[in-house]
Amino acid sequence: MSPKTLYDKIWDAHVAHESEDGTCLLYIDRHLVHEVTSPQAFEGLRMAGRKVRAPEKTIAVPDHNVPTTLDRANPATMTEDSRIQVEALDKNAKEFGINYYPVSDVRQGIVHIVGPEQGWTLPGMTVVCGDSHTATHGAFGALAHGIGTSEVEHVLATQTLIQKKSKNMKVEITGKLRPGVTAKDITLAVIGETGTAGGTGYVIEYCGEAIRDLSMEGRMTVCNMAIEGGARAGLIAPDQTTFDYVRNRPHAPKGEDFDKAMDWWKTLFTDEGAHFDKVVTLKGEEIEPVVTWGTSPEDVLPISALVPNPEDFKGGKVDAARRSIEYMGLKSGQKLTDIEIDTVFIGSCTNGRIEDLRAAAEILKGKKIKEGMRAMVVPGSGLVRAQAEEEGIAQIFIDAGFEWRMAGCSMCLAMNPDQLAEGERCASTSNRNFEGRQGYKGRTHLVSPGMAAAAALTGKLTDVRELM
Amino acid sequence: MQKFETLTGIAAPMPLVNIDTDMIIPKIFLKTIKRSGLGVNLFDEMRYDRQGNEIPDFVLNKEQYRDAEILVAGDNFGCGSSREHAPWAIADFGIKAIVSTSFADIFYNNCFKNGILPIVMPEDVVDVLMKDAEKGSNARMTVDLENQTVTTSDGQSFPFEVDAFKKHCLINGLDDIGLTMENVDAIDAFEAKASEARPWV
Ligand code: SF4
């Protein structure tokens, strides 16, 4: 048999039907659902008189719209249209009999954090969700990608997706990371290298020593942003780190089933000599803590750099860079470390897990954030929040002057009341720095949790290594 | 779904690269539970000021492009989120075809589900089409899906590639779920086999 990539193996194990032209029906093992991209899909089912084919493989949780203030049980904390969406999800979950974590459940949180945490996401699975950051689940060696609402309806009705296979791309990070450099810096550095369209048409497998050394949390951060690089999905081969994380999760297999699962999971790696259509290699030692300066995730530079000059770019990017610099209120040639910040957001499906909060707390311990700084931590799930409270991390944040919030997407996309005001500038651990992403005319610099904490202390974009 | 055969219409030029889904339809409009009515908010933050007045410079606010049915756009159009609200808004505005050198993957797929044809062309062709679009409403471009060509107002014709299955569905206005249901036996069989091989799923 010819050698296969990890992607090939998972793909082959899920093809339910293949047409002559190569169009496949890919069977979906887990379908995650949230309130924003699903109402029209359920409505479509209802109108066609269809049922959810596999409700036991469908998991729903409200996250995008929900308030993150302590008083959120009070419906008055939500705007009417947000409330309608959340209520529609409540109703649809009940009516169609799918697994559900309502806002009042401590397990509620961002869909991409809840799935792995509850053991819904397992190696070798196909996982989809009406959300582009579904790529996160690839950290388990699961083929996971975002879909649109029509496809949500398609999966609900048929448990399959109409797909053509993507090409294989390998992103290798060799060697060790230096202190202060994290999974977030890896994933941003890769996008800086490949551009936001560099992965279009591909499924990326991340490998190499620096990836192997990452915890599951770090691996999820890396895969989470595969989509910002344009890829359909990101994958990391499962190993002992994965198996240890998965074992004993509520929905992970138990006993004999677990052993049987392990037998298969251990075969999930890219065979020696398998073909990749594109290969990118970065040296772990050379990655520095990075930040974004513009309004595209590819606008990445080491924190030690200067705001670029639009003329340094080529083609359509010249205008885009000019527009970005103006939107961001920056000057070419300005030091990135001279950029003043007024808001810090720690959270999101990129960096809202326990390890991220620990990394930020490590920097903040015993210190106070700059006066006038608005800083918030929004844990990725109720369980992350509870664990952080138990570990004393919550107290470090609170003592430093951070707001300690309830779980949700929050200021990652600002669909709830957590938004930047016009002209406000935020160091954010989220994944998108698009114009208006965190609020109308708000300005976003993407950073790692440690870098976000450092910025909160100094009031400027700061090299976290100076505070370590 | 509406059928797509040929289309002759006004093309609007949007040379900006990396036009993302937040630009196409800002998140405040995602709070709807309907699919229709998003056209007025297409490109909202680029199209209107904070008071809701039109920004005259924005291409779709210009008299000659108000009825555009084709967009010619910069690289990597539709990057960002999976929101199908983006193609819903585009379709609701009346745009039926988009030309670019590249599209983000999810957006590209979402277009076909909503009767919109995304057309990938090499950079030099996009440049020619962009110039043609800049001529305004007197210049009409023609998109012929059956023959897979785009023809400029002055008769230059360029071929494009499109997946045969996606083309078939678009030309015939076929509903994906209905098509898949025809293979329900294959899904049943797969499910039975998979639940034996991987009972923990
Ligand atoms: S945290 Fe942000 S990126 Fe993640 S699912 Fe929520 S809105 Fe999307």
> How much is the pLDDT for A76?
87
Contact B155, B20 (CB under 8 A): no
- Note the pLDDT tens digit of each residue in B49-59: 999 999 999 99
Match 């030029």 to its residue by tokens: B13
- In this structure, which amino acid lies at residue B192? A
pLDDT of residue A74: 86
Nearest-angstrom CA–CA distance, B191 and A146:
22
- What is the whole-number distance in angstroms between the Cα of residue A348 and the centre of ligand 1? 6
Ordered alpha helix ranges (H), A53-148: 80-96, 111-117
CA distance B29 to B106: 19
Q: Which residues of B touch A50 (CB under 8 A)?
A: 177
Three-class secondary structure of residue A245 per DSSP: helix
Sign, CA dihedral A244-A247-A249-A252, equals: positive
Q: Where are the domains of chain B?
A: 6-197
Task: Give the closest residue to B87 by CA, choosing from A37, A83, A91.
Answer: A37
CB contact under 8 A, B190 and A17: yes
Mean pLDDT, rounded, for A408-413: 96
The answer to whether the beta carbons of residues A63 and A172 sit under 8 Å apart is no
Q: Which residue has the higher pLDDT, A120 or B1?
A: A120
Residue A351 belongs to what H/E stretch?
helix A348-351
Instruction: Report the residue from A122, A201, A440 with minimal CB separation from B45.
Output: A440
For the stretch A211-232, pLDDT in tens is: 999 999 999 999 999 999 999 9
Q: Cα(A14)–Cα(A304) distance, rounded to whole angstroms?
A: 46
Compute the distance from residue A413 Cα to the ligand 1 centre, in Å: 7
Q: Which two tokens stand for residue A420?
A: 């930047």
Instruction: Tell which wins on pLDDT, B173 or A186.
Output: A186
Q: In A247-260, which positions are buried (b, 16+ CB within 10 angstroms) versus exposed (e)?
A: eebebbbeeeebee
Mutate which of A63, A136, A438 for ligand 1 pocket (most atoms within 8 A of beta carbon): A63
Q: Which residues of A are annotated as a binding site for [4Fe-4S] cluster?
A: 349, 409, 412
Q: What number does the ligand 1 atom closest to the CA of A63 have?
A: 6
Rounded CA-CA distance B161/B157 in Å is: 14
For ligand 1, atom 4, name the residue with the nearest CA. A349
CB B64 within 8 A of CB B89: no
Average of pLDDT values for A199-205? Answer: 96
Residue A205 CA to residue A168 CA, distance in Å, equals 8
**3-state SS class at A170:** strand
Q: Does residue B71 contact residue B98 with C-beta atoms inside 8 Å?
A: yes
Q: How many beta-carbon pairs under 8 angstroms link A with B?
A: 187
Contact B177 A39 (CB under 8 A): no
Rounded CA separation A117/A61 (Å) = 13
pLDDT tier for residue A171 given thresholds of 50, 70 and 90: very high
A432 with B22: Cβ contact below 8 A: yes
Q: Which CATH code is given to the segment(s) B6-197? A: 3.20.19.10
Cβ <8 Å between A40 and B35: yes
- Rounded distance, CA B142 to CA B11, Å? 9
Topology (CATH) of A167-238+270-286: Aconitase; Domain 2 (3.40.1060)
Compute, in angstroms, the gap from residue A409 CA to the centroid of ligand 1.
Answer: 5
Structure-block tokens of residue A95: 């009516």
Residue B5 has pLDDT above 90, yes or no: no
In this model, does residue A310 exceed pLDDT 90?
A: yes
Per-residue pLDDT tens over the stretch A139-156:
999 999 999 999 999 999
3-state secondary structure B111-140: HHCCCCEEEECCHHHHHHHHHHHCCHHHCE
Q: Mean pLDDT throughout A278-284?
A: 98
Can you tell me the distance from the alpha carbon of A461 to that of A306, in angstroms, rounded to the nearest whole number?
Answer: 12
Question: Mean pLDDT: which of A78-82, A242-246, B1-5, B36-40 is highest?
Answer: A242-246
The domain locations on chain A are 6-165+240-262, 167-238+270-286, 290-466
The structure tokens listed for A113 are: 């954090």
Residue at token pair 């808001």:
A343
> How large a percentage of chain A has pLDDT more than 70?
100
Query: Which one-letter DSSP state was computed for residue A173?
Result: E
Per residue in A67-80, pLDDT (tens digit) is: 999 999 888 889 89
The ligand 1 site (C-beta within 6 Å) comprises A 63-64, 110, 112, 131, 133, 348-349, 409, 412-413, 430-431
In the beta sheet, which residues pair with residue A18?
A24
pLDDT value for B2:
76
Model confidence band, residue B150 (pLDDT cutoffs 50, 70, 90)? very high
Question: Alpha-carbon distance A399 to A393, whole Å?
Answer: 10
> For an interface test with B, which of A90, A196, A350 has the most B Cβ atoms less than 10 Å from its Cβ?
A196
Pocket-testing residue among A127, A147, A405, A430, ligand 1, by greatest number of atoms within 8 A of Cβ: A430
What is the average pLDDT across B188-200?
96
CB–CB contact B113 A151 (8 Å): yes
Residue A395: per-residue pLDDT:
98
Residues from chain B contacting residue A437 (CB–CB below 8 Å): 22
As a whole number, mean pLDDT of residues B92-114 equals: 96
Residues near B168 by beta carbon (within 8 Å), at least 6 away in sequence: B174
Q: Residue A284 pLDDT > 80, yes or no?
A: yes
Q: Is the pLDDT of residue B137 over 80?
A: no
Which of A253, A298, A434 is opposite residue B200, by nearest beta carbon? A253
The CATH H-level (homologous superfamily) assignment of domain A6-165+240-262 is: Aconitase, domain 3 (3.30.499.10)
* pLDDT score recorded for residue A21: 86
Give the H or E element holding residue A219: helix A216-224
- Return the residue matching tokens 């009031």: A459
**pLDDT of A1 higher than 90:** no
Across A383-410, b (16+ Cβ under 10 Å) vs e yields bbbebbeeeebbebbeebbbebbbbbbb
Residue-level pLDDT at A22: 87
With respect to CATH, is domain A290-466 assigned 3.40.640.10?
no
Confidence of residue B136 (pLDDT cuts 50, 70, 90): confident
Quote the percentage of chain B above a pLDDT of 90.
Answer: 89
Report the C-alpha gap between B44 and B25 in whole angstroms: 6
Q: Indicate the pTM of the whole model.
A: 0.94
Write the ipTM. 0.92
Local confidence band at B1 (pLDDT 50, 70, 90 cut-offs): confident
Please determine whether the domains at A6-165+240-262 and A167-238+270-286 fall in the same fold group of CATH.
no
Determine the residue of chain A that is closest to B111 in CA distance.
Answer: A148
Q: How far is A129 from chain B (nearest CA, A)?
A: 9
